[in-house]
Amino acid sequence: MVVPSGAGAEHSADVADYYDSNTRRFMLVAESPTSAAIHRGVWLPGTTAVAEAADAVNRLVIERLRDQVPADGSVLDLGCGVGGTMTRLAQELTASVSGVTISQVQAEIAAKRFANAGLGERCQVLCADFAELPAEPRYDAMVAIESMVHSPSLATLIPALAERLNPGGRLLLIDDWMTDKDRGLAARERCLDQFRAGWRIGSLHTVSELTGFAEGAGLHLRESLDLTSYLHLGRPRDRLISVAVGATGMLGVRDRLVRQPFWANMIGGSALQTALSRRWLEYRLLLLEKA
């Protein structure tokens, strides 16, 4: 595994441990376990099946790359997880598809998935920190689904990614972005701090802040699509988790439990539900393009 050095090393190690410890459970409790998606289901208008919701993000990505990436081009999935999106990209595009994940467990699962699907030559996965990418090769598109928030510095990362895009290349980010709603409200700040601690979040930014980083690196925002209203928030299991997390606060053990990956996921996930429902965070697709 390629690991960073310096101040970001401890954070990267925490993120790696979080996913190494939780990924197999994520796959068991995913909205659609057969879809290989460990990202959120998005119930776009007309969606009736769980598997369709689980694949919605992949379809949104494919629609924005199909006519843009050359037939012999290359796509990089930043924070590729267990390879579900990479597999879908390889099925729909003729370009080569690479992925990077900080989790050794995820990299091994993804490699097996590609081999079983006959995609071992077209899909390559690297276990590394996406902040430590080599200068070459360059890519025609990069995709990051629910992974940018783990970066300790988007101000540094976005320019580095821009350098690795070919002219006209696209950077697609689907993630949680802060809003200015209730900024400074104590309850909001506690909620976001709980999300940061639980899910090992390194960066929470507004779309405006992200756009500033991008413009300075020669990337222009072409689309900002709010998907928040298409999430299924407050499901029965979400309510049960909220009760359990609330109990950890009353018992005074939350700060200790948040260091354990299992409880960290519960604590961070409960905070995320609250933040999304109150619009302190929004789940958005951002399409950036290099001049």
The pLDDT assigned to 195 comes to: 98
DSSP 217: T
pLDDT along the chain (291 residues), means of 10: 61 97 91 74 96 96 97 98 97 97 98 95 96 94 98 98 98 99 98 98 98 98 99 94 93 93 97 98 99 92
Q: Which residues of 135-165 are buried (b: 16+ CB within 10 A; e: fewer)?
A: eeeebbbbbbbbbbbbbbebbebbeebbebb
The pLDDT assigned to 29 comes to: 82
The pLDDT assigned to 8 comes to: 79
Q: Which residue has the tokens 């490699």?
A: 111
**Cα 200 from Cα 219, distance rounded (Å):** 27
**Cα 181 from Cα 82, distance rounded (Å):** 34
Q: Which residues contact 186 (CB under 8 A, 6 or more apart)?
A: none
Provide Rg for the chain, Cα atoms.
18
Could you give all domains of the chain from N- to C-terminal order, each with its CATH number?
8-178+202-233+280-290 (3.40.50.150)
Pairing mode of beta strands 281-290, 165-178: antiparallel
The pLDDT assigned to 257 comes to: 96
**Cα 226 from Cα 177, distance rounded (Å):** 10
Q: How many CB atoms lie within 10 A of CB 171?
A: 25
Q: Which residues contact 51 (CB under 8 A, 6 or more apart)?
A: 32, 34, 35
> Amino acid letter at 59?
R
**Cα 90 from Cα 118, distance rounded (Å):** 11
